[in-house]
Amino acid sequence: MDGGAVDVGPARQRFLLAALLIEPNRPISADQLVERMWADRAPHRARGTLRTYLSRLRNALAVTDEVRIGRRAGGYVLTLEPSMVDLHLFRHLVATARSSDDNTAVDLFDRALALWHGEPFAGLDTPWISAVRAELDAERVEVELDRGDLLLRRGRHSELLAALCTMTSARPLDERLVGQLILALYRSGRQADALDRYEHVRARLAEDLGAHPSPPLRQLHHQILTADPALLSPARS
């Protein structure tokens, strides 16, 4: 599409396009699309309305040969190269990163995370899209955590500190994330701050969930108290 924007119409048509983009190049039945778009609030003659939206989408996308909506046995198919869609490019970059050496993986994780711009499918709201949005947010968080582990392994804790502080403010009970912050603080010569962070999350877990810190977080705390040499920062690479 040569980078040009295509007006695909009002919100419900954008929703239909999103419902097809999630699973490109595979048929999705009319019943599935109706469920995704309206759940239990489907309009009278929903299938007819769906066909109207599909026809309008085809017309909107006719300006390019790279994207097509067709019909196969089993349903409607949006045909395109998956890497054209940020979601699928993100997943491809992440999968490649997880099978690459550390230096390559850092670059691939950064490229994947740079594809995120605000909330996925903002303005669209059904149980299906809400579940997809939650799944994608969980994928992004997992990538951020994997990237953090990788940078800590490479001795790059100082460049992580600011981002880790911001993320732990949003997710104060994410023990893997808090563990990364505690380790980064300790390796930056801030042992007291690291221990304060541990005490803060321990108290929050007890108060909010009636739980104790996880074994890995307790082990990290013990290692800091005993100045375990295993916590020393590796040479930056």
Is residue 102 situated within a structural domain?
A: yes
Is residue 4 situated within a structural domain?
A: no
Burial class, 29, CB count within 10 angstroms (exposed 0-12 / middle 13-18 / buried 19+): exposed
Is residue 224 situated within a structural domain?
A: yes
Number of domains in the chain: 3
Residues 148 and 162 in one domain: no
Is residue 3 situated within a structural domain?
A: no
Question: Quick one: tokens of 188?
Answer: 């930056």
Residue 5: phi and psi, rounded to 5, are -80, 145
Residues 39 and 69 in one domain: yes
Identify the weakest region by mean pLDDT among 40-44, 146-150, 164-168.
Answer: 40-44
CA dihedral 97, 165, 162, 190 (to 10 degrees): -110
Of the candidates 22, 47, 80, which is a domain's last residue?
Answer: 80
Residues 32 and 17 in one domain: yes
Is residue 196 situated within a structural domain?
A: yes
Q: What is the mean pLDDT of residues 137-163?
A: 95
Residues 179 and 160 in one domain: yes
Using one digit for the tens of pLDDT, what is the confidence trace for 46-56? 999 999 999 99
Of the candidates 42, 57, 80, which is a domain's last residue?
Answer: 80
CATH number reported for the structural domain that contains residue 40 in this entry: 1.10.10.10
Is residue 1 situated within a structural domain?
A: no
What is the C-alpha separation between 236 and 171, in angstroms, rounded? 28
Q: Which domain holds residue 15?
A: 11-80
Is residue 127 situated within a structural domain?
A: yes
Of the candidates 59, 80, 101, which is a domain's last residue?
Answer: 80
Q: Is the CB of residue 36 less than 8 Å from the CB of residue 121? A: no
Using one digit for the tens of pLDDT, what is the confidence trace for 104-143? 999 999 999 999 988 888 877 888 999 999 999 999 999 9
pLDDT at 220 over 70: yes
Q: Is the CB of residue 205 less than 8 Å from the CB of residue 189? A: no
Is residue 128 situated within a structural domain?
A: yes
